């Protein structure tokens, strides 16, 4: 029991450091794989473009996240019968984050990839 208690801080530190693979690491697993493997894993691309003997497949991910509303406003402002002290509660809102991932295909195999967006 005492040994378990001694190990708790180490286990907590280890758990805090545990993170999944980065986006670069996840996408790099597709390099060298076939276009069919890519589509099977990510779904049908949003756009396809061909240039200089390569195909470019664009995949798009979107997610909606809550945005913390600003603090309520308590201030001086015009009222219906003259100046008054007002309180306007803040309204919660959401934001849409996008991540575009483009894969370059040459000879039927993934050659490179790029990504951009605030949701990556």
What are 119's strand-pairing partners? none
Q: What is the pLDDT of residue 68?
A: 77
pLDDT confidence tier of residue 78, bands split at 50, 70 and 90: low
Going by C-alpha positions, the residue among 35, 28, 23 that lies closest to residue 110 is 35
Task: Give all strands (DSSP E) within the chain, no chain letters.
Answer: 47-51, 54-67, 73-79, 82-88, 93-106, 109-116
Looking at residue 33, the DSSP 8-state letter turns out to be: S
Architecture of domain 21-67+93-120: 2-Layer Sandwich (3.30)
Mean pLDDT of 55-80: 77
pLDDT in tens, 14-63: 445 668 999 999 999 999 999 999 999 999 999 999 999 999 999 999 99
Domain residue ranges of the chain, discontinuous segments joined by +: 21-67+93-120
């Amino acid at each position: 029991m005492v040994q378990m208690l001694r190990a708790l801080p180490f286990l907590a530190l280890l758990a805090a450091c545990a993170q999944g693979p980065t986006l670069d690491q996840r996408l790099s697993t597709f390099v060298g794989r076939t276009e069919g493997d890519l589509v099977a894993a990510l779904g049908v691309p949003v756009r396809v473009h061909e240039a200089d003997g390569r195909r470019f497949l664009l995949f798009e991910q979107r997610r909606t996240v809550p945005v913390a509303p600003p603090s309520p406003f308590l201030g001086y402002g015009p009222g219906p019968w003259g100046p008054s002290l007002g309180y306007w509660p803040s309204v919660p809102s959401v934001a849409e984050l996008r991540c575009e991932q483009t894969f370059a295909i040459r000879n039927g195999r993934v050659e490179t990839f790029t990504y951009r967006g605030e949701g990556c």
